[in-house]
Structure 1
Amino acid sequence: MQLLSSADFASQANTSYELWLGDGAMNLTLVDIRPLPAAAHAGSMRQPFSLIFRSSVRHVLPQRTYQLKNAASGVQEVFLVPVGRDAAGVLYEAIFN
């Protein structure tokens, strides 16, 4: 398994990802890449970071691991947590530490 870093996603900001739901897919947009404090993760193999995705679908998906597919990065398994809503849709966060 490849150890991903925030640099792996830097060129993908504001791009679309397909989230596989078994019987179909929905689109998410990567809207933010945030570094996290490294002090809380001493000894970590990478600088911790989070990704924020937005879905225009108003239904909130439960937190769990989903397959995300992007043309540039391929298919990845990512644990997503719903973290809020804004005027454009539902926000999900993935944390990598």
Structure 2
Amino acid sequence: MSEAGPFTLARFEPLVGTRFMLWLDDETGLPAQLVEARAAPGSRPGFSLTFEGPPEPALPQHIYRLQHPQLDALDLFLVPVARSAAGLHYEAVFG
């Protein structure tokens, strides 16, 4: 990881549109695309990431391990926030 650490908006913005692997356990993973990385509204610090996963299974809010070829493995608390025709959206918020 960079000296700024793994959890910065600048670290994730170039990865929008790329695929992560979201691990349900040691053997079962699902593809999850990073569809948005945005700063918190107003002058508040922080940012959020939105991932789109397959329509099934619908995952509960939980800490999931995500992997990407350009990052070390990350354990993120993901919350389901929306359903689209393409799949389910999950959000991670950093304050």
Give the TM-score, by structure 2 length. 0.86
The corresponding residue for 1:28 is: 32
Deviation at 1:39, TM superposition (A): 4.6
Aligned counterpart in structure 1 of residue 17 of structure 2, from 14, 19, 24: 14
Q: Conserved in 2, the CA contact under 8 Å of 1:31 and 1:52?
A: yes
The corresponding residue for 1:65 is: 63
Unpaired segments ≥5 residues, structure 2:
none
The percent of aligned pairs where both chains have the same amino acid is: 36
- In the alignment, the residues of structure 2 paired with residue 48 and residue 12 of structure 1 have an alpha-carbon distance, to the nearest angstrom, of 17
Unpaired segments ≥5 residues, structure 1:
41-46
RMSD of the TM alignment (CA)? 1.5
The corresponding residue for 1:43 is: none
3-state DSSP of counterpart to 2:15: coil
Cα offsets for 1:39-81 (capped at 9, x unmatched): 55xxxxxx31000000123221010111000001120111100
